[in-house]
Amino acid sequence: MKILQICNKSPYPPKEGGPIAMHNIAEGLMRGGHTVHILTVNTPKYYVDVECIPINYAIKTNFTAVYIDTRIKITGAFFNLFSKKSYHVTRFITPVFKNKLRDLLRDNKYDVIQLETVYMAPYISLIREFSDAKIVLRAHNVEYLIWERLAGYTKNPIKKAYINHLAKKLKRFEISMMNKYNGIAAITKVDADYFEQIGCNIPKEVIPFGVDISKYKPIVSDLNNISLFHLGSMDWFPNIEGISWFIESCWKNISENYPNVKLCLAGRNMPEQILETKMCNLSTCSRVDDAHDFMSKHTIMIVPLLSGSGVRIKIIEGMALGKTIISTTIGAEGIICENKKNILIANSPEEFFESVKYLMENKNEITRIGENARKNIEENYCIDKTTNKLIGFYESFYN
């Protein structure tokens, strides 16, 4: 099959959740003998120097990036208050991107146009005009749910009202577009079920995030030097919110009771207030050279998310590396897992403390849970299995 992948941010380099998910699915499709062309928005927040894209990758994918300034602007945000349109979505619409997409559709005959996130949905009418390809939404999240949950945890009343306003308009747009695709490939069953509940009546398939197992080599943890760690993009508000909560509400009790345990936090664009936090055995950094190496060096991954939607890619990667993970229910949402079998679930400071206590008093459980986590990835998240499932879904449109 010939597939055009339209991305809201560049899948290369794959250094954070969304790009990793998009990159892996493209690699899986190409490994399966299919042709994938990539058209991506190039944003200030996740800017990619096209000249640095490996030449083989660029040629193989016909890699095309269009710069769009998606930064939130005060005047744009203000005037959008009086519009029915979603400010989240309108920032991705430009004539330059439309023209580039039109050129690709005129020059190529695609079987499937794969839209990465709802933010690319405004281009559906243009695609219908110039192509007979089936249009499939690759749903990484139910996007508006992230903002609804965020509003729920926001204390400032003015900020809370504004976030709720944004969430309502994004929800209206997301629902209005839901049945305009030929199908939806949801990354989790939770999201697929939610689409069903809010009126989606087109074909849906759950296509989990897949990893190339051969690239993840578990390393046995040193149980005499235990550390907790978190790795994630720190310009994504749910990560900032979750880590701030963990530091303020959880870490003091853990460190006082287990003074030899360290907490290591890393992630792109780490906020200054976290970088400057001074607490016992807490270390922070804004970037790591190798994410796999960073995760392998530490013992227990924490995912204290309080809001968000979709699947946490770093949990899948951590499991693939055989890590024991302590996550909130929201953090583990959509991932096939079982508490105390291949993950630990904690939703309060007390539960996080009890989880750490359990592992410190039963260190063999760190090894057992990590090994079960790796098996879980091999059984459910292998890239070849997820790609075959996706192609089967695409082929069903033509049977």
Burial class (CB in 10 A: 0-12, 13-18, 19+), 17: buried
**Percent of the chain surpassing pLDDT 90:** 72
Contacts of 56 (CB under 8 A, 6+ apart): none
DSSP 268: T
DSSP 7: E
Burial class (CB in 10 A: 0-12, 13-18, 19+), 314: buried
**Of the ranges 79-83, 186-190, 251-255, 349-353, which one carries the lowest mean pLDDT score?**
79-83
Rg (CA), the chain: 21
Residues 328-340, mean pLDDT to the nearest whole number: 93
Could you read off the pLDDT of 63-76 as tens digits, one per residue? 999 999 998 787 77
The encoded tokens of residue 177 equal 């577009």
Residue 15, pLDDT above cutoff 90: no
Residue-level pLDDT at 49: 94
Residue 145, pLDDT above cutoff 90: no
Residue 329 pLDDT level (bands cut at 50, 70, 90)? very high
Could you read off the pLDDT of 337-358 as tens digits, one per residue? 999 999 999 999 999 999 999 9
Residue 309, pLDDT above cutoff 90: no
Residue-level pLDDT at 237: 80
Residue 311, pLDDT above cutoff 70: yes
Are 40 and 58 within 8 A, CB to CB?
A: no
Residue 167 pLDDT level (bands cut at 50, 70, 90)? confident
Q: How far apart are the C-alpha atoms of 46 and 37, rounded to whole Å?
A: 20
Residue 152, pLDDT above cutoff 80: no
Which of residues 12 and 16 earns the better pLDDT score?
12
Residue-level pLDDT at 310: 66
Residue 166, pLDDT above cutoff 70: yes
Residue-level pLDDT at 117: 93
Residue 160, pLDDT above cutoff 90: no
Residues 376-397, mean pLDDT to the nearest whole number: 95
**Of the ranges 113-127, 294-308, 318-332, which one carries the lowest mean pLDDT score?**
294-308
Q: Which amino acid is at 399?
A: N
Could you read off the pLDDT of 120-141 as tens digits, one per residue? 999 999 999 999 999 999 998 8
Collapsing DSSP to helix, strand or coil, 80 comes out as helix
Are 181 and 136 within 8 A, CB to CB?
A: yes
Give the domains, in start order, of the chain with CATH numbers. Answer: 2-210+382-396 (3.40.50.2000), 214-380 (3.40.50.2000)
Residues 186-200, mean pLDDT to the nearest whole number: 90
Q: CA distances (Å), 269 to each of 46, 67, 228, in order?
A: 11, 21, 20
DSSP 374: H
Residue 94, pLDDT above cutoff 90: yes
Residue 47 pLDDT level (bands cut at 50, 70, 90)? very high
Residues 81-100, mean pLDDT to the nearest whole number: 90
Which of residues 84 and 130 earns the better pLDDT score?
130
Residue-level pLDDT at 242: 93
Q: CA distances (Å), 131 to each of 38, 185, 365, in order?
A: 16, 20, 54
Average pLDDT, the chain: 92
**Percent of the chain surpassing pLDDT 70:** 99
Residues 184-204, mean pLDDT to the nearest whole number: 92
Residue 149, pLDDT above cutoff 80: no
Residues 279-307, mean pLDDT to the nearest whole number: 91
Residue 324 pLDDT level (bands cut at 50, 70, 90)? very high
Residue-level pLDDT at 212: 92
Residue-level pLDDT at 125: 97
